[in-house]
Amino acid sequence: MRKINLFKVVIPILFLFGMILLFLISKTKKTNEMTFGFASGGNEIQEEIDTEIEIHPVRVYLFASSTCPHCKEEEEFLGNLVKRLPFLEVERFEISNNSKFAVKKVFTALSREHKTFGSVPLTIIGNNLFVGFDSSEKMGAEFSQVIKSCALNSCQSSLDKESDLVELPTFVKQKVSLELLEETLGKSNN
């Protein structure tokens, strides 16, 4: 019987096994890189497609008083949103003894209808009416959600038809960055 040198058989087999293993690892790594590169390129294309969305114009009606501290806080909050969101417009109406008759008439009717007892700030966004303003974190977050919903789904206020109140330009849809919308108003829940 012939004696086989174990090292002469095992070493070439281990060498061959190692080479196959390295080959498979390198292929897997290249495949992952290719997949990652493709996914990245795909995401960039998808992001480019999804970046701009068509938005409906949103008009906020704010009835406020120059002596009201909460009104000033809300005006500052809304002013910051208007600077960032081109589709948002705020119509502010002063409620004081010197107010225009049409403004007083509309404000009084709203106060009676919604039993707000003349409280300010009184804010209307679409069909939503808000009384008071506590903070950007609480009520500001509610405003943001309603504004975003109106921008995505279109909503009109009954005040949009009040020609005695203010002469309003006709709004048209526009495209805005989804990133800007979500950064400013928060991510969508849908």
pLDDT value for 2: 61
Which of 47, 79, 81 has the alpha carbon at shortest distance from 184?
81
> What burial class does residue 77 get, using C-beta atoms within 10 Å of its C-beta: 0-12 exposed, 13-18 middle, 19+ buried?
middle
Domain ranges of the chain: 53-185
For 73-116, how does the pLDDT look when each residue is reduced to its tens digit (9 = 90+)? 999 999 999 999 999 999 999 998 778 888 888 899 999 999 99
**pLDDT beyond 60 at 37:** no
pLDDT value for 165: 66
Q: Do 136 and 128 contact (CB within 8 A), yes or no?
A: no
| DSSP category for residue 96 | S
For 131-185, how does the pLDDT look when each residue is reduced to its tens digit (9 = 90+)? 999 999 999 999 999 999 999 999 988 888 776 666 655 556 677 777 877 887 8
Q: Do 99 and 64 contact (CB within 8 A), yes or no?
A: no
Which CATH number fits the domain 53-185, given the four candidates 3.50.50.60, 3.20.20.140, 3.40.50.300, 3.40.30.10?
Answer: 3.40.30.10
pTM over 0.85, yes/no: no
